[in-house]
């Protein structure tokens, strides 16, 4: 029977060891990120089992702090890209040495180069320049750029600001690990007072010694502890009872954090940075939430495994009770077995370690719950501020749009009325111009026809005048001939009959000449009248041409007015397009705000669901802790009925913890273990 009981105990211990190893592995995975961050920042490794820093054996100088450098040597382009995004490079004032070096620097000559730099680096340098516009002046920004990012100062600037940033990250990561471990130990000690009083304060503090001064790590059995070692350890506990609070690590954390905060505030005289909530930060928060949910699933799996173990323990406990009853009946007078004592001690230690593990998991869950709740509140506040800003921008855009629409409507109405009136006046002027143009064309046509007719008549009159001139010349020639003949006749004293005939011919010739002269004068007067009439027609034609030029000018002016009206119509179309673009932008902003609100609601719901699940897991863990305590009490009660097992010295309560009592308290506690066989 005892062999079966021993086998069951061995199997139970093996199962507890395996489950404990899995739980520790899960906890180590949860702390890998903090460990990696600290290792990257400081160059030293931390053992999560003992909380001690592991020194680098290859380092000759043990006291020198490792200089954080990138994993691979960065190129010049990578250094520039990093420094372009580093705001302290441009925010910190120049030192006296740097100002002396920049005395002869002329910033006005770098305008084109600055423009080119901003165009080539929009996501780094330009973003930093726009971010610091309200804090740093233009000249200071670019003086610091050309001073610190020059070829001779580039490596020094990169080393200074890279080391400064990583030195600020390393202590914060180490402080977070120390605070977590110290707080976990404090909570575990406060909540485990009943376990210490029941199983011995010296054993409890021995199990937690790995967090104070490098004692034995938890969940490692040490069944070969002698009574002498226990007495020696008990004496050490009396000396160190007054130093526990300081050794656990939570007494100095707050002071170190305050000193770090003071140092950080002293480093940055320009004030804190204004963090703008962007989409990338929201994605980071989502990733953290997913990581927290993964840890919650791991804790749920651990709790389910613990529940299964508790059920198995209950079944084994019932079987053990039956076995103890039969063993008591069969071997009531047998002496206590030393091996059974060791197994029982090991079982008690395993139970205590299991309770310590559950307490640590509980503390981890509480810390995660508080952290997730704090993160959810911060996310909600940031999202609310972001939405308020968006609401303000939308309200401002709506007011601007309404004002623009009102002004555009008024301007449109006035412009339409003015354009309509100008079009009517222009149409009326065009109609008058067309009528006058047609009348003038008719007059010009008539004048041209009259001019052509007068020119034809002038030509005919000229021909008649020429013929009359020819006849007059012929008559004058005949008259000269007649005069010469008369003179000859008079000189020759011809007969009177011939003279009379000649005189008659002469008179007739004179009469013909006189008639021709009269006809010539009448033709001349007609010619002068035609010339005068022709001049009048020419003057009328010139006046018509002048009027035509005036009408052409009026037509050009009318065309210009029509072009201006067309331009005004195009301007109205542009205004209408701008108004439609603003309306579309406003609608898009409203849609984006609605999507942000939906996303915020979904994030809140997810966080609330996570919080509820964490509360449920916490309740399950508390239930399991109560079941373990009940099992422990029931096991102690069942053993007291049949077995007398001397209490190990490692489980004797510390005299300094229980306020005194001496050997009488020890004997009273030992009597509780039951009667002898």
DSSP-assigned beta bridge partners for residue 45:
54
Domain ranges for the chain: 405-589
Give the whole-angstrom CA distance, residue 404 versus residue 391. 19
Is pTM beyond 0.85? Reply is: no
Instruction: Considering only CA atoms, give the Rg of the chain.
Output: 60
Domain spanning 405-589, CATH architecture = Orthogonal Bundle (1.10)
The model's pLDDT over 531-579, given as tens digits with 9 standing for 90+, comes to 888 788 888 888 878 877 887 887 788 788 778 877 877 877 887 888 7
As a whole number of angstroms, the distance between CA 232 and CA 238 comes to 10
In this prediction, residue 499 carries a pLDDT of 61
Which candidate, 195, 203, 185, places its Cα nearest to that of 244?
185
Query: What's the whole-number mean pLDDT along residues 593-611?
Result: 80
* Residues in CB range of 462: below 8 A, 6 or more apart: 527
From 166, 80, 123, select the one nearest 278 (Cα to Cα).
123
pLDDT score of 57 more than 70? no
Q: Tell me the mean pLDDT in the region 655-664.
A: 45
User: What band does 632 get if pLDDT is binned at 50, 70 and 90?
Assistant: low
pLDDT score at 563: 82
User: Tokens 């037509």 map to which residue?
Assistant: 555
First to last CA, the chain: 16
Average pLDDT, the chain: 70
Query: What SS3 string covers 490-513?
Result: HHHCCCHHHHHHHHHHHHHHHHHH
Is 634's pLDDT higher than 70? no
pLDDT of residue 486: 67
pLDDT bucket at 199, cuts 50 / 70 / 90: very low
Q: Using a pLDDT cut of 90, give the percent of the chain over it.
A: 1
Least confident of 332-346, 451-465, 615-629: 332-346
The yes-or-no verdict on residue 292 having pLDDT over 60 is: yes
Q: How much is the pLDDT for 280? A: 77
């Amino acid at each position: 029977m005892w062999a079966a009981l021993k086998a069951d105990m061995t199997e139970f211990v093996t199962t507890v060891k395996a489950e404990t190893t899995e739980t520790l592995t899960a906890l180590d995975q949860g702390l890998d990120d903090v460990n990696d961050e600290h290792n990257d920042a400081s160059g030293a490794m931390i053992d999560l089992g003992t909380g001690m820093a592991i020194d680098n054996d290859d380092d000759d100088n043990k006291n020198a702090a490792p200089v954080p450098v990138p994993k691979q040597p960065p190129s010049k382009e990578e250094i520039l890209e990093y420094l372009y995004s580093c705001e302290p490079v441009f925010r910190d004032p120049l030192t006296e040495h740097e100002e002396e070096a920049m005395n002869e620097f002329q910033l006005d000559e770098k305008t084109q180069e600055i423009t080119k730099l901003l165009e080539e680096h929009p996501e780094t340098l330009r973003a930093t320049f726009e971010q610091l516009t309200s804090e740093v002046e233009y000249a200071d920004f670019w003086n610091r750029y050309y001073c610190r990012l020059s070829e001779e100062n580039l490596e020094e600037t990169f080393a200074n600001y890279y080391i400064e940033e990583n030195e600020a990250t390393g202590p914060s990561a180490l402080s977070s690990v120390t605070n977590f471990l110290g707080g976990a130990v404090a909570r575990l000690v406060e909540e485990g007072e009943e376990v210490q009083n029941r199983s011995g304060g010296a054993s409890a503090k021995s199990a937690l010694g790995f967090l104070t001064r490098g004692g034995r790590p938890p969940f490692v059995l040490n069944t070969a502890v002698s009574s002498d070692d226990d007495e020696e350890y008990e004496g050490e506990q009396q000396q160190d009872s007054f130093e526990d609070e300081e050794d656990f690590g939570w007494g100095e954390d707050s002071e170190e954090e305050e000193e770090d905060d003071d140092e950080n505030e002293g480093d940055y005289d320009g004030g804190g940075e204004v963090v703008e909530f962007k989409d990338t930060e929201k994605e980071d928060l989502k990733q953290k939430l997913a990581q927290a949910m993964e840890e919650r699933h791991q804790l749920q799996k651990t709790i389910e495994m613990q529940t299964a173990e508790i059920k198995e323990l209950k079944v084994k406990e019932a079987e053990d009770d039956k076995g103890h009853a039969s063993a008591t009946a069969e071997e009531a007078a047998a002496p206590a077995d030393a091996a059974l004592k060791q197994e029982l001690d090991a079982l008690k230690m395993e139970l205590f370690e299991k309770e310590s593990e559950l307490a640590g998991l509980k503390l981890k869950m509480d810390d995660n719950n508080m952290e997730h709740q704090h993160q959810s509140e911060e996310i909600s506040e940031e999202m609310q501020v972001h939405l308020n800003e968006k609401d303000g921008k939308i309200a401002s855009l709506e007011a601007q749009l309404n004002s623009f629409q009102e002004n555009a409507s008024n301007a449109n109405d006035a412009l339409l009325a003015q354009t309509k009136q100008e079009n009517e006046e222009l149409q009326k002027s065009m109609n008058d111009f067309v009528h006058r143009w047609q009348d003038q064309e008719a007059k010009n046509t008539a004048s041209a026809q009259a001019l052509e007719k007068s020119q034809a008549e002038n030509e005919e009159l000229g021909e008649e005048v020429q013929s009359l001139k020819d006849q007059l010349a012929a008559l004058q020639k005949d008259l000269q001939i007649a005069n010469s003949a008369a003179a000859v006749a008079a000189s020759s004293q011809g007969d009177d009959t011939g003279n009379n005939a000649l005189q008659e011919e002469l008179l007739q010739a004179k009469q013909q000449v006189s008639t021709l002269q009269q006809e010539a004068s009448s033709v001349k007067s007609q010619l002068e009248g035609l010339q005068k009439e022709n001049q009048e027609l020419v003057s009328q034609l010139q006046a018509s041409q002048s009027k035509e030029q005036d009408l052409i000018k009026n037509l050009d002016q009318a065309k210009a007015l029509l072009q201006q009206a067309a331009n005004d119509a195009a301007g109205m179309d542009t205004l209408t397009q701008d108004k439609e673009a603003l309306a579309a932008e406003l609608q898009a902003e409203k849609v984006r705000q609605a999507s942000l609100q939906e996303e915020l609601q979904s994030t809140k719901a997810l966080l609330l669901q996570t919080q509820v699940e964490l509360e449920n897991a916490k309740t399950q863990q508390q239930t399991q802790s109560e079941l373990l305590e009940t099992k422990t009490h029931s096991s102690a009660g069942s053993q007291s009925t049949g077995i007398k097992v001397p209490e190990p010295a490692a489980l004797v309560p510390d005299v300094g913890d229980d306020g005194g009592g001496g050997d009488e308290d020890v004997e009273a506690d030992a009597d509780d273990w039951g009667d002898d066989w």
